Copies of this chain bind each other. A is one copy, B any other.
């Protein structure tokens, strides 16, 4: 059944998105003071509590700095925003989504290669088995893009799990969220990689053989983005 849940965006979510856009696009420059919560509430025609929830999230993302009594100020996201802001960045249009995607894939290549290396060194037997199984699950012939991305995510999740590095594990979550946010339509260039069943199985075998250098090298080749 191809039905997807109907999106019912909360008010604070909408406010968060609007302000995020303003900041990432540069229309609200760094160091600039935001309108007061009361003014924002009136401008968006929502309650102040909704604005506050959005501002709290902006603060967590590293986009604004809040101080009681003083005004809320915009931060330079280059310096203060965390990796999670990349998801917002991908959809805000502040930076061309192709640029964001390229950067994302570049990071994925670097982290993925090292994760493959570590997986070959550290993975427990059952984790190796999962990697092999995930490689086996790649479809032989053409499949729809969403399905391919799902299979690919399962494979790399298995690899990263085997690498036993919390940073890589959580980074993978953020990265895949970012890639997902950009949307499937921009992922056409990755079809060859996703569909390369043989390469994934070769990589899985290198991991199973406990050959970290080969695993890293294969992963580098596989993830290299043109």
Which A residues form the contact surface with B (CB < 8 A)? 8, 10, 12, 49, 52-53, 56-57, 60-62, 68, 77-86, 89, 95, 99-100, 103-104, 106-107, 110-111, 113-114, 118, 165-171, 173-175, 177-178
User: Given the complex, which residues of B lie within 8 Å of A114, measured CB to CB?
Assistant: 106, 110
A86 and B167 form a contact (CB under 8 A)? yes
Provide the bound-state CA to CA distance between A86 and B82, in Å. 11
Chain A contact residues, majority secondary structure: helix
A52 surroundings in chain B (CB, below 8 A): 49, 53
Query: How far, in Å, is A101 (CB) from chain B's closest CB?
Result: 10
State A66–B113 Cα separation when bound (angstroms). 35
Give the shortest distance, in Å, between A209 (CB) and chain B (any CB): 22
A107 lies within 8 A of B173 (CB):
no
Within the complex, what minimum Cβ distance (angstroms) separates A194 from chain B? 20
Pair B12/A83 contact, Cβ less than 8 Å? no
Nearest chain B CB to A30's CB is how many angstroms away? 14
A86 to B167, CA, bound (A): 7
C-alpha spacing A170/B104, complex, angstroms: 11
Cα A88 to Cα B36 in complex, Å, equals: 29
Asked if A83 meets B171 with Cβ closer than 8 Å, knowing A106-B165, A111-B111, the reply is yes
